[in-house]
Amino acid sequence: MTNFLTKSISVSRAVSLVSHGIKPFVATRGLATVKDQSFTLNKKPPPPIAPYAPVSLKPTPATLKLKSGEVYSGTSFGANVHTSGEAVFTTSLVGYPESMTDPSYRGQVLVFTQPLVGNYGVPGIFKDEYGLLKFFESDRIHCEGIVVGDYASRYSHWTAVESLGEWCTRFGVPAISGVDTRAIVHILRDQGSTLSKLYIGEDPDFSKIPYSDPNERNLVSEVSTAVPVSYNPFGDIKIGVVDCGVKNNILRALVKRGAAVTVLPWNFNFNKVSDQFDGIFISNGPGNPTKVVETVQNVRHALATYKRPIFGICMGNLVLGLAAGLDVYKLRFGNRGHNVPALNVLDGKCQITSQNHGYALQDNVMPNGWTKYYVNANDGSNEGIRHKTLPFKSVQFHPEAKGGPQDTEFLFDEFLSKVRTDKIQREGIKTFVPETFISQPQVV
């Protein structure tokens, strides 16, 4: 993973600001020691300052246009660039740093139904013991732009180092606020996800921005790792992760349960080395699943030859379904939110899940040997499939959440315990869960 660009000010710069009598804004939020130094250097409490970044007196206008013709005028609070993408909405109440860095949102203009967005700012760069970013799902913002009703430039949270607007600006992502998101979501709900354009500045000239349909591209190839990368290499079982745009918290869910994980490029033919892995995981990812032809072919080959467990999430469910012989279709407006009920058709339990997808498996007729696993309790769409006898299964929702409820995280336990018991049977030895080894990601 490339380094996260950070705008956090350094301690030396902060001290130099302090010596000029300027209380560093960012540092006083995150780094108590810098705040303490300001007291030492000035020998007296610093003068009171405005607790939040000044708001420009003359806001820059921003305009959102849907391909169906509707135009919404508001205010820009992000990057000064125009963009185009598929307008989709999420009903999540919190979790914008996680959603916006989820590679699955690539190519999309994200409309928040939650009316107030930005009030807890954006966290700094914190990594866990595995070298994974703690508060972001990847190292950058992936959505094309964001649309919010009411933007909070005043933020407060112990992890925050900058505002949502500053973060968007730094990553070149435009953002619009002050528009009627209820009206926009009604349109997207009724007519379906729609291409859109975001124009930043006076006198919008939309002819300057062509509509861009992300679903015509292979977005997975834009976000997948270029080379294999390993995490927690001393884990007792080895999982190959087919990276269609994997979220950090999926990798964390695997390594914190003791697995050694190797993240593989989306089009890498893992069948050539599959005996090196005790199980295969197929990740989430952006865009149209029918564009990831190589991944589907590789998984199809694995279904015919590989006898070890395979588990997939979201794009992983679509890819596994396509490989098993099902078709996919585009949902009218998709399921994006943190409160989506999914019903396990095998045990009748309903769980509340985190979701972010626009496509679904057509599961009316299941291929031989396969059965439905979960269905959506709102719209009846497919939420998972499993093989009747072989250890292959997948879910459409996100058990790893981030953000969202963790009710289905047990699916990682089930997957890895199946991988472990199979390994014991295969190798005839008692495997063990070692203490988790602390390791930084390594290119292998």
Ligand X SMILES: NC(=O)CC[C@H](N)C(=O)O
Query: Is residue 338 annotated as part of the catalytic site, yes or no?
Result: no
Distance CA 269, CA 289 (A): 17
Under rule CB under 6 A, residue 287 binds ligand X: yes
Q: Could you give the CA distance from residue 283 to residue 281 in angstroms, rounded to a whole number?
A: 6
Catalytic residue from among 137, 144, 314, 357: 314
With the CA atoms of 145, 84, 102 and 161 taken in that order, what torsion angle do they form, in degrees rounded to the nearest 10?
-20
Size of the site for ligand X (CB under 6 A): 13
Is 241 a binder of ligand X (CB under 6 A)? Answer: no
Q: Which amino acid belongs to residue 428?
A: G
Closest distance to ligand X from the beta carbon of 314 (Å): 3
In the residue annotation, 398 being an active-site residue is answered as yes
Q: Would you give the binding string for ligand X spanning residues 301-320, x where CB under 6 A is met? A: -------------xx--x--
Question: Is residue 357 a contact residue for ligand X (CB under 6 A)?
Answer: yes
Using rule CB under 6 A, residue 285 touches ligand X: yes
**CA-based nearest residue to 336, from 356, 353, 363:** 356
Catalytic choice (82, 338, 387, 398): 398
286 binds ligand X (CB under 6 A): yes
Q: Which of 144, 162, 166, 400 is catalytic?
A: 400
Nearer to ligand X, 228 or 286 (CB): 286
Q: What's the full length of the chain, in residues?
A: 444
The least distance separating ligand X from the CB of residue 316, rounded to whole angstroms, comes to 7
Write the CA distances from 259 to 66, 153, 163, 244, 348, integer angstroms: 45, 41, 36, 19, 30
Nearer to ligand X, 306 or 359 (CB): 359
Give me the least distance between CB of 82 and ligand X, in Å please: 24
In whole angstroms, give the CA distance from residue 188 to residue 174.
Answer: 20
Cα separation, 232 vs 130, whole angstroms: 7
What secondary structure letter does DSSP report for 80? S
What is the Rg, in whole angstroms, of the alpha carbon atoms belonging to the chain? 23
Identify the residue among 83, 104, 274, 381 touching ligand X (CB under 6 A). 104
Query: Of the candidates 123, 358, 404, 441, which one interacts with ligand X according to CB under 6 A?
Result: 358
Q: At what angle do helices 315-324 and 293-305 cross, to 10 degrees?
A: 60
Which residues are at the interface with ligand X (CB under 6 A)?
104, 284-287, 289, 314-315, 318, 356-359
Instruction: Catalogue the active-site residues.
Output: 314, 398, 400
